[in-house]
Amino acid sequence: MQNSERQLIEPLATLVRIASTFSLVNYYGPFAIMTTKRLEIVVEGSNDGKNWRTYEFNYKPGLLIKPLGWNIPHQPRLDWQMWFAVLRPPQNNSWVVRFLYKLKEGSPAVLGLLANNPFLTRPPEYIRASLYRYTFSSPDLRASTDQIWEREYLGLYWYIDQLDQP
């Protein structure tokens, strides 16, 4: 009935129990249990291989102070597909690799799907995609810093250098 380790206090527990009989909200089918951790791919570009700039998505967490956006009834296809991409290695996600190459080329159609383009004058020479585990920050950390997320680096997901061709 609830997606929490803590029990709700009364009368809130009674209210949830009564409201749940109307099926007004749910845990979105299998998605509440098929991924129990929030893994995210963070995409960055660089022209020197040392200084990296992040491509932000419209609805995925990225910046640690960015709250989740409201997207209903819109279905943010790219953000949604990136959520599934973490479930498979990049070799099995040919569309992700093509997406990264299109960023390296500076494709206007692909850049239009993102919240920002950190390379306004020319596309980057290098593209990397790193895998992170995101969790909500503690209430104390959020109150003192406005930081909503904490993240842990899990490793490199994919890398394209200046010599790579699509």
**Model pLDDT for residues 103-117, shown as the tens digit of each residue:** 999 999 999 999 999
pLDDT tens across 52-61, in order? 999 999 988 8
CB 100 within 8 A of CB 127: yes
pLDDT at 5 over 60: no
Residue 30: the pLDDT is 58
The Cα–Cα gap between 147 and 136 comes to: 9
Residues in the chain: 166
Write the pLDDT tens digit of every residue in 8-25.
788 878 887 887 776 666
How high is the mean pLDDT of the chain? 84
Burial 13-38 (b: 16+ CB within 10 A, else e): eeeeeeeeeeeeeeeeeeeeeeeeeb
